[in-house]
Amino acid sequence: MKIGIIGLPQSGKTTLFQLLTNNVNTKASSKANIGVARVIDPRVTKLSQIFNPKKTTYATIEMVDFSSLPKGQLKNDNPLLQALKDVDAIVQVIRAFGSEPLLTGDEDVNPMNELAQIQSELIVSDWSLLETRLERIEKERAKGVSAAGAKEIALLNSCKDTLEQDLPLWTLELSTEEEKLIRGYNFLTRKPLLIVVNVDEEQMRQHSYPQQGNLEAWADERGIPVIMISGQVEKEISQLDEPDRSLFMADLGITESGIERLSRAVYAHLGLISYFTVGEDEVRAWTIVQGTNAKQAAGKIHSDLERGFIRAEVVSYEDFINAGSMQKAKEKGLFRLEGKEYVVQDGDIISIRFKV
Ligand SMILES: Nc1nc2c(ncn2[C@@H]2O[C@H](COP(=O)(O)OP(=O)(O)O)[C@@H](O)[C@H]2O)c(=O)[nH]1
Ligand SMILES: [Mg+2]
């Protein structure tokens, strides 16, 4: 899974990227920075303490830090745009800290304006793609060589209408068939969106920042998660060891780092869950889409496990922790033998029986 971080210059994208990926050497550059973020899951940490395996593997998310997107840049055949088309979700970072004049052209921080500017860049980008495509289809039809069917053309036109009303394409309710027809376009405004508001320490303590009400109302209406993070505070948290770390966080009134909150929000918004495999060799988290069955989930580990799938031995994380050990969990009958159609649940600890 790949997440693209976008936003105006100086909003804190690179800072966030560095925190997420532990990549402190990233330089500001005109290209996109790519890194891998570990999804901090306390359950994996706990399982690792219990099994003491040779290796502990957290789930990961590939992060792309897009250098800032100046006005109009996404309209062109920009390599950045190509890279952005490739992500599974977009995180827009918005600056709420500081009071220096900003690139929004405002005298003070203006989160709503930052939001509007970037969102309109995305809309314009999709719109120009559609316009080019529709023009080409028209020319081809005039020559009688267009492969595009009437359904596709009608759909593309309704997409264009939507964008012309200044609405992102995820506001369109599409049938599975329509969804298939436009999948290849990789429209930016059809990708899941999350918003990170970058605040300073004081704002974090107060739980407030300029225009918070407006921003949250905007996001609520659209079902978009808003995560308040302070790049500055996160940096400090990441540099502290226990118990100072917990003390500092308690002082701020938070129990989870912003990075943890962000990964949880990404999982929830994209409908992702984790299941675990455990043992002396490795404790590992696997990411799957909600609704994945046991056989498909086994395929995440290895195609042989999917092909030769017989049964899955399953115990939930909670049951396992409450029982205290695998042995006790088995004695208490908390282990279940599930078939290939079993829908894997978040936190399932699974062992696959297979034969190839
Ligand atoms: N005070 C404060 N400064 C921050 C915070 N996050 C980032 N910065 C600073 O803001 C500037 C721009 O950050 P950067 O991550 O490079 O922004 P980008 O242009 O969006 O990649 C840098 O000088 C950062 O140190 C924050 O939460 N608080
Ligand atoms: Mg940057």
pLDDT (tens digit per residue) in 288-339: 999 999 999 999 999 999 999 999 999 999 999 999 888 999 999 999 999 9
Cβ 277 under 6 angstroms from ligand 1: no
Q: What dihedral do alpha carbons 123, 115, 266, 201 form, nearest 10°?
A: 170
Quick one: pLDDT at residue 172? Answer: 92
Mutate to test the pocket of ligand 1, among 8, 10, 27 (most ligand atoms within 8 A of CB): 10
Is residue 35's pLDDT more than 60? yes
Q: What is the DSSP letter of 220?
A: H
Q: Give residue-wise pLDDT tens across range 83-98.
A: 888 899 999 999 999 8
Mutate to test the pocket of ligand 1, among 13, 14, 15, 236 (most ligand atoms within 8 A of CB): 15
Is residue 250's pLDDT more than 60? yes
Ligand 1, atom nearest to 230 Cα: 27
User: Could you tell me if residue 310 is inside a domain?
Assistant: yes
Q: What is the DSSP letter of 253?
A: T
User: Could you tell me if residue 297 is inside a domain?
Assistant: yes
Ligand closest to 91 (CA) is 1
Residue 31: beta bridge partners? none
Give residue 340's domain range. 291-354
Burial class of residue 54 (count of CB atoms within 10 Å of its CB; 0-12, 13-18, 19+):
exposed
Is residue 61's pLDDT more than 80? yes
Q: Give residue-wise pLDDT tens across range 170-191.
A: 989 999 999 999 999 999 999 9
User: Could you tell me if residue 126 is inside a domain?
Assistant: no
User: Could you tell me if residue 302 is inside a domain?
Assistant: yes
User: Could you tell me if residue 213 is inside a domain?
Assistant: no
What is the DSSP secondary-structure string of 262-296?
HHHHHHHHHTEEEEEE-SSSEEEEEEEETT-BHHH
Using an 8 Å Cβ cutoff, are 114 and 198 in contact? no
User: Which position has the token pair 């069955």?
Assistant: 293
Using an 8 Å Cβ cutoff, are 15 and 102 in contact? no
Residue 269: CB partners within 8 Å, gap ≥ 6? 89, 192, 194, 225
Res. 40 pLDDT band, cuts 50 70 90: confident
Cβ 11 under 6 angstroms from ligand 1: yes
Neighbours of 179 (CB within 10 A): 13
Residue of minimum CA distance from atom 19 in ligand 1: 10
CATH number for the domain spanning 319: value is 3.10.20.30
Percent of the chain with pLDDT over 90: 60
∠120-123-128 over CA atoms, to 5°? 125
Is residue 23's pLDDT more than 70? no
Q: What is the DSSP letter of 193?
A: E
Quick one: pLDDT at residue 237? Answer: 87
pTM: 0.88
Number of domains forming the structure of the chain: 1
Sign of the C-alpha dihedral computed for residues 78, 84, 90 and 93 taken in this order = negative
Q: How far apart are CA 17 and CA 13, in angstroms?
A: 6
Ligand 1, atom nearest to 234 Cα: 27
Ligand 1, atom nearest to 16 Cα: 15
Ligand 1 center to residue 306 CA distance, Å?
45
Using an 8 Å Cβ cutoff, are 338 and 266 in contact? no
